[in-house]
Amino acid sequence: MTSNEHNAEFVRGNELKLTLSLTPEQAKAMQAWSDAIPTLYMLDICVVNATKLSGTAPATDARKAALVGRLRHLDRPQNSFSYLLALTEKVSDPRPSLSDDEFEAQILQDVAAMRRFFVQARVQEEDGFLLDYARALRHQPPELGTGAYLDFLRLANGRGLANPVPRADRLRVASEMMAQADALLIARQHPTVLLTLACLYGNISARKVMKFKADHRNFRAENALADIMVISRFLPLKLQVEQDARNERHGYMRMAFMTDDTGLAGVFGCFKGQKVRFTETGDKQEQRLDVKVEVADLLTEISMEPDRSPRTDTTSEAARREYDLLCAMLFEDAVGHARG
């Protein structure tokens, strides 16, 4: 490490996973215990917009009504709600339609609506911080690889992924997509690549995120990428916030992401941050994020659960071999210098 280099590392806390049979009373007590944990909720744009609904507005849409009800349930003194991910999503759109003044006015309106909605919980960021952040990133993408990610998504759409790919062709198409990721210096394990492969292997939630189109002119790569990048933006923040709370014995012991997008919600849990390391040299910061990926949950048509794939079934054996080959390709060190 050079004299002007500074490192910081944050790791996932220990977890205990239990499967319990609870009575209604016990389940209610467990929910009350969970509700008491100080939590920082990161909201996406759709959820932020839900805080603008009032009166009878949500009643005509059962899903929106349920979301508003959930937000009101979480409106507790120990909780906070963050606008940061929603703002990053807005800032990272390469197709700005508002002037700087209009954009900043929209930010202030959004946050003001959140503060009116939440009576007991607080909004995490102050106006000045959000405006400074927006000004710093308004005309440059938060991630250096944005152009490559968009190119990859457009190439993927050009392969006809809007429609199911014949099973006999899937492994070949997957190999070709990973080669394209290599050429663009994108790590094969990046969510952009993994969710594309999830579409190839029939994951309905991933298809909802990507929204691939038969006519390439109708495909909005920017919209798909905005959802995908929430994953890699959220996980480092979660690791940092939760470790700080463990070390200092106060703060937000839990950090959670809230979205009204059923596709994004369906794949989000397949990515679990394990460790993040920040390296600062001069005015530059590099980030290395280690993520545990539930690959079998993403590639739904070749799930490896034993009760779904008995070894006596020839088709299942073929799927198992395909799964093993696909994992070998995914996790080989094909691009050691690729973007994370």
Summarize pLDDT for 227-259 with one digit per residue, the tens.
Answer: 999 999 999 999 999 999 999 888 999 999 999
Question: What pLDDT digit, counting tens, does each position of 85-130 carry?
Answer: 999 988 877 666 788 899 999 999 999 999 999 999 999 999 999 9
Q: Give Cβ neighbours of residue 251 (< 8 Å, ≥ 6 apart).
A: 38, 241, 244, 245
Q: What is the mean pLDDT of residues 40-67?
A: 85
Phi-psi region of 212 (alpha: psi -120 to 50; beta: other; left: phi over 0): beta
pLDDT at 157: 96
What is the secondary structure of 120-178 as a DSSP string? Answer: SSEESS-HHHHHHHHHHHTTS-SSTTHHHHHHHHHHHHHTTTTSPPPHHHHHHHHHHHH
Share above pLDDT 90 across residues of the chain, in percent, rounded to a whole number: 66
- Model-level pTM? 0.88
CA distance 112 to 152: 37
Closest CA to 230 of 220, 242, 241, 238: 238
Judge contact between 236 and 276, C-beta under 8 A: yes
In this predicted structure, the answer to whether residue 1 has a pLDDT above a threshold of 60 is: no
Name the token pair of 43: 């909201």
CA 86 to chain centre: 12
- Tokens 């959140």, residue? 114
Specify burial of residue 97 (Cβ count, 10 A radius: 0-12, 13-18, 19+). Answer: exposed
Q: Give the residue among 322, 337, 336 at the shortest CA–CA distance from 175.
A: 322
User: Residue 77: its pLDDT value, please?
Assistant: 97
Mean predicted confidence (pLDDT) in 259-267: 95
- Cβ pair 15, 272 in contact under 8 A: no
Confidence grade of residue 3 (pLDDT, cut at 50, 70, 90): low
Q: What is the mean pLDDT of the chain?
A: 88
User: Do the beta carbons of residue 149 and residue 224 sit within 8 Å?
Assistant: no
